[in-house]
Amino acid sequence: MDMTKETLAEIRKNIRRAKKSEFYKKHFAGIDPEDVKAEADFLKLPFTDKEDLRNAYPLGLCAVPEERIVRIHSSSGTTGTPVIIPYTRKDVLDWAKMFKRCYEFAGVTAKDKIQITPGYGLWTAGIGFQLGAELLGAMALPLGPGNTDKQIKMMIDMGTTVLTATSSYALLLAEEIAKRGVKDKIRLKKGVIGSERWGKKMRKRIADELGVELYDIYGLTEVYGPGIGINCMHDAAMHMWTDYMYYEIIDPATGEPVKEGERGELVITTLQKEGAPLIRYRTHDLTREVLGKCACGQDYPRIAAIDGRSDDMVKVKGTIIFPSRVDELLSGVDGVSSEYQIMIDHVNGKDVVTVFFETARKSDGERRDLEKTVEREFKVSVGMTPKAKAVGMGELPRSEKKTPRIFDNRY
């Protein structure tokens, strides 16, 4: 996104701050912030990745004397060492200001009652939603996750107007409210949903069942937490707070910037952070810049809702296959279920892609027609023709966690 002289000055300041940490002292050894005079110089700076942050455990990222740290958070390390992010008093306040702005963009006011269902603790979610609510002057109801009976009771008794949740928990609550027949006692107007990949179908169900407007809030613990961007009531794209961060969108395979408006990986450089400044941090979240001015009249640039992770993609014969793109194209083919698997094999010196999909149709003729349609649609959406293979419903393996979709058997 546009790099102004002021942004460049902020970036130089940020590099100077960052280089006080053990991590950036090494990572940026030999880099003089004064040499970053133009965007081209900035683009030569090395990326920072989650693995770097893990290796800096516990406080290698800390760029100020430890007595200035007022809080730490930790990102959910499902594998191995967690990442510890230290915050100064200013960092905590900046985060609250950004979060307050998110609520304001969603039309939430001091008169609202905000029920907070994301978790509290080392994770940044719950406390971020609360900080923003309190700074806004709204009433925070800090329930945290789980205990659906109590959630619904509080929602009714307190007259909650804003629900903050993950998309899956919002859906669960919506279903429970419908099941119990208490929808007429619920006063909800808005839902602020933490950024996960969630389909249009799910969004519509939550909105319809709860009777609310939904907002996508973006963020990650490494960079404050949730609250660094949100969509407004005019559009589904998220406004990003460029006074606190500089954003790039890169080709995840080459690391080069994508063309304006093209899809790629979001990379964030903090401009204000003191405790743990980050430079060119790879989020692995896939999005694209949404060009043009938003109907709300705000100048904050926008990105499309996150629709995948760069770690999930594979490259075949120069073409990148994203599971989210495949989800999308298959959902548009009548007769094909949402369950599919892609196998990539190396046969006789060639990469072969096979798409298995489930269908309720039984006759060979019908199945062959579906296979042809999938092959054609794949070519249009992904840019290469696979071999498509129809199987019966329930024939592909299921997993309780996230079901793997792409199996790369080439290596």
Give the interface with Zn ion as residue ranges (CB under 5 A): 232, 234, 294, 296
Q: Quote the CA–CA distance of 326 and 205 in Å, as a whole number.
A: 22
Q: Quote the CA–CA distance of 125 and 134 in Å, as a whole number.
A: 15
From the CB of 225, what's the least distance to Zn ion, in Å? 22
Q: Which residues of 239-259 are buried (b: 16+ CB within 10 A; e: fewer)?
A: bbbbebbbbbbbbbeeeeebe
Q: Quote the CA–CA distance of 74 and 61 in Å, as a whole number.
A: 12
What are 245's two structure tokens?
């961060």
Task: Considering the complex, state which of residue 115 and residue 231 has its C-beta at the smaller distance from Zn ion.
Answer: 231
Enter the DSSP assignment of 172. Answer: H
From the CB of 292, what's the least distance to Zn ion, in Å? 11
From the CB of 131, what's the least distance to Zn ion, in Å? 23
From the CB of 120, what's the least distance to Zn ion, in Å? 30
**Chain center to CA of 239:** 13
Task: Considering the complex, state which of residue 140 and residue 232 has its C-beta at the smaller distance from Zn ion.
Answer: 232
Task: Considering the complex, state which of residue 232 and residue 249 has its C-beta at the smaller distance from Zn ion.
Answer: 232
Task: Considering the complex, state which of residue 221 and residue 287 has its C-beta at the smaller distance from Zn ion.
Answer: 287
Residue 146: which residues within 8 A CB-CB, separation 6 or more?
A: none
Task: Considering the complex, state which of residue 296 and residue 314 has its C-beta at the smaller distance from Zn ion.
Answer: 296
Question: SS3 of 117, please?
Answer: coil
Nearest Cα to Cα of residue 272 among 224, 203, 213, 320: 224
From the CB of 302, what's the least distance to Zn ion, in Å? 7
Task: Considering the complex, state which of residue 234 and residue 379 has its C-beta at the smaller distance from Zn ion.
Answer: 234
Q: Are 194 and 163 in contact (CB under 8 A)?
A: no
From the CB of 245, what's the least distance to Zn ion, in Å? 18
**Helix, strand, coil % over all residues of the chain, rounded to 5:** 35, 30, 40
From the CB of 290, what's the least distance to Zn ion, in Å? 10
Task: Considering the complex, state which of residue 72 and residue 294 has its C-beta at the smaller distance from Zn ion.
Answer: 294
